[in-house]
Structure 1
Amino acid sequence: MSFGEPEGYDERVRPRPLAGRMRGRTAQVALCLVLGFGLIGGAATGSWLVGDSGGDGGQSTFAAAAGLWHSVPVDQLFPPTVQGRGAGPGGADRTWTRIAVAPDSGCKGAFDPLLAKALAPAGCQRLLRATYTDATQSFVTTVGLLFTEADAPGMTSLAKQFQSQGLGNRTDLMPRPYAAKGTPAARFGPAQRASWTLSVLTDAPVVVYAVSGWADGRAVDTPQPAAQAMQSGATSAPAQAGLGNEAKGLADRIGRALRKDVTTPPTERPS
């Protein structure tokens, strides 16, 4: 915008025709409208990605996420191969291969009693689980998607409770692994849990978690939450082995895929 010339005059200070001025103003208004709608659309799309409810748009994506467990193929929720660029200790790359998928089920017997009690306020609509191994088949990690029955305020309340009380870091609230027979995870039981992470989403009625351990069946005396195992200078066995990175890296990528699924129209999803 120039302030050097009086409005309604050309560069030689001659009066401009009224029609020319109106056309110029109309073009500017149209441009502003286009830019405005573009910004609004971008904000609506971004609201899901950052966890903001975004009004009616946020409510629609929240509702859409609730049905993903039966509308999205298992290979999309839990891809056969997951790439983890920079997910390992020191920024090393990771590749996880799916070795087992549990039948979708309810939550009865799926969690230790105290964790089941902590999650109970949100309810349980469906539980989906899959177990992965790393490229060397040294580690195994179970990742789970708990689809709850809670509304947005309920998920926000649960997330605040987990955060304020540090429930995600308590060893008596670790998720259980899925030990599939005939796979490298066959001996991955409760005693083999080494590191874990659990996130209560507020932009979807979903709890995302992962728990990792060694594939050789060794028991772990002192499990450590992923957030602590990944800290610089951590010396525990899970930390030294990078098992915190295994749990956190895989859970993060499955969670991102879930968000992508809810923003992708059904007609564009692979069958």
Structure 2
Amino acid sequence: MSFGEPEGYDAQARPRPLGVRIRPRIAGAAACVVLGLGLIGGALTGSWLVGDTGDGGAQDTFAAAGTLWHSVPVDKLFPPTVIGQGAGPGGADRTWTRIAVAPDTGCAKAFDPLLRKALAPVGCQRLLRASYIDATQSYVTTVGLLFTKADAAAMRTLDTEFAKKGLDRRSDLMPRPYAAKGTLAAGFGDEQRASWTVSVLTDAPVVVFAVSGWADDRTVDEPEPAEEAMQSGATTAVAQAGLGHEAQGLADRIERALRKNVSPSTEQSEQSS
């Protein structure tokens, strides 16, 4: 595969040259079983089908995913409008509107220090973030894609570490918001964080995360991980407001967009081989 001159994004989501190239990293990926009628038309929108560790298609997919930060337009990674059917409490629909895209950067200021330390083993190739507001303009959410330098084995190891130690549920390991000046997220700082989610992908060198809060800049004494805030019967202010659903719902749909965008590159590579 070959790509044109790499591009990044400025604060207005306009592409700009970076002058940086990354080397695709070839790695194995975990096996999965496809049930039912199989693939229709040779593709499955929104998901990656991963073969055995030695499968060339799986390796191509993993490598292709790692290049998306400079080969795919920002509007495809972070759509201007995101529809979340059934993403809210009780299966209510959600709609999020993008209000700012952060300039692409490293990871130094995007995470709490302990979270940055936990992510250090996989490295930081590039970090992309965007902030969204819900349809009622009540909640703001920053969602991000950390493109790592790791191979598939390292990503699996990190995922296991997060699961075993519950690192994605610790309030001292949280992503930081992108508080864009002149937007409804301008006052969205560390003290305003209400709920968050961090997901380590094992079939791509990517960590997907999101952090949500109220749009009126209120501080939150006890932020709650999305997994807990979304539980049935949860009675905290964060849970009752649906802020866990805001973080998790938006993160899930940005992850789906990421997976959808890698498919054409992978299929084109397979056709040319």
TM-score between the two structures when normalised by the length of structure 2: 0.80
Task: Give the alignment partner of residue 49 of structure 1, picking from 47, 50, 65.
Answer: 47
Distance 2:51 2:187 in 1: 41
- Which protein shows a greater Rg? 1
Partner of 1:9: none
SS of residue in 1 equivalent to 2:198: strand
Partner of 1:210: 210
User: What is the CA-CA distance between 1:142 and the residue it aligns to?
Assistant: 0.2
- Identical-pair percentage: 70
Task: Report 1:170-189 matches (<5 A).
Answer: 170-189=170-189
Partner of 1:254: 254
Task: Report 1:81-92 matches (<5 A).
Answer: 81-92=81-92
CA contact (8 A) 2:85 2:92 kept: yes
Distance 2:84 2:43 in 1: 25
Give CA deviations for 1:67-88 in whole Å, capped at 9, x if unaligned.
0000000000000000000100
Partner of 1:239: 239
The count of corresponding residues between Structure 1 and Structure 2 is 230
Give CA deviations for 1:69-122 in whole Å, capped at 9, x if unaligned.
000000000000000001000011000000000001111222111000000000
CA contact (8 A) 1:53 1:203 kept: no
**Quick one: which amino acid aligns to residue 233 of structure 1?**
G
Relative contact order, higher structure (CA 8 A, sep 6+): 2
Distance 2:266 2:64 in 1: 11
**Aligned Cα RMSD in Å?**
2.3
CA contact (8 A) 2:196 2:209 kept: yes
SS of residue in 1 equivalent to 2:143: strand
Partner of 1:228: 228
CA contact (8 A) 1:188 1:215 kept: yes
CA contact (8 A) 2:48 2:263 kept: no
Q: For structure 2, which runs of at least 5 residues remain unmatched after alignment? A: 1-36, 269-273
Distance 1:266 1:166, change over 3 A: closer
Give CA deviations for 1:30-77 in whole Å, capped at 9, x if unaligned.
xxxxxxxxx8977x966x936745422111100000100000000000
CA contact (8 A) 2:60 2:266 kept: no
Task: Report 1:1-271 matches (<5 A).
Answer: 49=47, 52-54=50-52, 55-265=55-265
TM-score between the two structures when normalised by the length of structure 1: 0.80
CA contact (8 A) 1:95 1:134 kept: yes
Distance 2:261 2:206 in 1: 13
- Higher helix proportion: 1
Distance 1:148 1:132 in 2: 24
Distance 2:209 2:105 in 1: 16
Q: For structure 1, which runs of at least 5 residues remain unmatched after alignment? A: 1-38
